[in-house]
Amino acid sequence: MMMRKSAVGIIAVLLMAAVCQAGSIFSGGGVGLWKWTSSGRDAGMGILGFGMRDSSSVGAMNPAVWSGITMTRFSAGMGIHHFSSQDDFASDQSDDFALEYAALGMSLKKNLTIGVRFYPQSRIDYRRYETAAIGNLVFSDYNIGKGGISTGTFLLAGKVKEDLDLGLSLDFIFGSLSTLWGADFASSTISDVQYTLAKKLFGVRPAGGFLFQLNEKTTIGGYGALGVNVPVTEELDYSYSDSTSEQDLDFSYPNIAGVGFQHYLRPRLILAGDVLWAGWQKRNQEIGDSDRYQTAVCASAGMEIVPLNETLVPIYQKLAYRWGVSYQALYYQSPAGQTVNDFAVSAGLGIPLEDVKSRLDITFTLGKRGDLDTNNAEEIYYRMGFYINTGEKWFVRTKKY
């Protein structure tokens, strides 16, 4: 009961943290609708965990990985992001403190797990002001946007053979994006104009994955999700009149495929890597600038020193140490039409809490997104991530005498 109360308290704190948000300059045009995500252990290695076996954690994107748990597990994480942005005209800094994910997995019986997972795929909060002109009339044109898209996942995972795990999931994609558009005219003979544009969407996407143990040292994994056309309702509310309008739009989520591996170089040293492909297309995109969408790729690799679970060893040997590197070609181009690349290095530390059932993962990532010469904008960012993994037996029958 105490563990369950703690889990509820952690969820409440993380959900409160999720309302504090700020956007990177590459989301400034309202395109930042999607991002990669990972669990605490994986984030410290700069990877997504498609081929990673970890029986003490839930939260990985590949549902097959969840089949390894033996009890009810709770995992959640929050991140502190700092962006230092620069373009051809100005530089700026912003911060983002938000929930990264929350997950709950339940082991109903041996080799069968059901789970739920929630993560915000995006959080957008941007402001754009510029000077515009109609003939000789100069006015201020501005856009203020906020909102985002989130995903709730229901999954089922199990072991079908001694060396093969399978998992299936359904992603429920939902969200709302709103933009306040306005124009401030200097002339008193022309009224300022303003309206609010809101876009609400909902869609369901099937996904699945596998985990196959080649031998005692090596495991490979795969993940895939089908693309889906997400219906979008667009509502316009004009502030200076009683008129409103509504129309149906279309937004296409991509097909996704990923593969990964985990290999023990030594009994306590793991080498792991992942590649993820997302087939974004320009067609059927009626949110954002459709000409900016493109196929996205993420590749990463990392190493981990596995902790010892022995009682009498020094504390530093009970910690997990991780390092990773990652590269991404983002799914949307810069306004000038070039690909935006993201390079990052990461480090992580796994700290046991009370017993081997619980741990705290702390990660640090330093990266660069975009290039001033190529994309006319770039940003240096760092992220601190804090993840809790804990568990207990929920389905245990008490013997009666």
Give the number of other CB atoms < 10 A from CB of residue 313.
11
User: Residue 82 above 50 pLDDT?
Assistant: yes
Per-residue pLDDT at 355: 61
pLDDT tens by residue, 275-313: 999 999 888 788 877 888 899 999 999 999 999 877 788
Rg (C-alpha) for the chain, rounded Å, is 23
- SS3 for 98? strand
Query: In the structure, what pLDDT confidence band is assigned to residue 30 with cuts at 50, 70 and 90?
Result: low
Across 392-396, average pLDDT: 66
Element (H, E) at 168: strand 164-185
Higher pLDDT, 192 or 30: 192
User: Residue 321 above 80 pLDDT?
Assistant: yes
The neighbouring-strand residues paired with 332 are 293
- Looking at residue 394, the DSSP 8-state letter turns out to be -
The neighbouring-strand residues paired with 141 are 130, 183
Higher pLDDT, 246 or 26: 246
Residue with tokens 């196959």: 212
CB environment 369-391: b (16+ within 10 A), e (fewer): bbeeeebbbbbebebebbbbbbb
- Report the distance separating Cα 58 and Cα 65, nearest Å: 8
What type of residue sits at position 14? Answer: L
pLDDT tens by residue, 63-75: 999 998 888 999 9
Averaged confidence pLDDT in the chain: 84
Cβ(25)–Cβ(83) below 8 Å: yes
Residue closest to 387 by CA, chosen among 355, 352, 365, 362: 362
What type of residue sits at position 196? Answer: T
- SS3 for 240? coil
Across 89-111, average pLDDT: 84
Q: What separation in angstroms does the CA of 317 have from each of 44, 248, 266, 306, 310?
A: 18, 58, 15, 9, 9
List for the chain the helix, strand, coil content (%; round to 5): 10, 60, 30
Cβ(37)–Cβ(122) below 8 Å: no
Residues 6 or more apart from 310 whose CB is under 8 A from it?
none
- Domains (ranges, CATH) in the chain? 2-115+153-167+211-226+256-392 (2.40.160.60)
The neighbouring-strand residues paired with 105 are 73, 115
- Report the distance separating Cα 14 and Cα 77, nearest Å: 8
Lowest mean pLDDT, pick from 135-139, 164-168, 269-273: 135-139
Cβ(120)–Cβ(141) below 8 Å: no
pTM to 2 decimal places: 0.84
Higher pLDDT, 11 or 147: 147
How many C-alpha atoms does 17 have within 13 Å on its Cβ side? 24
Residue closest to 100 by CA, chosen among 25, 186, 39: 39
Per-residue pLDDT at 305: 96
Per-residue pLDDT at 29: 58
Q: What separation in angstroms does the CA of 120 have from each of 14, 78, 153, 257, 341?
A: 12, 11, 11, 20, 22
Element (H, E) at 14: helix 2-17
User: Residue 8 above 50 pLDDT?
Assistant: no
pLDDT tens by residue, 131-145: 888 787 888 888 788
Residue with tokens 């196929």: 295
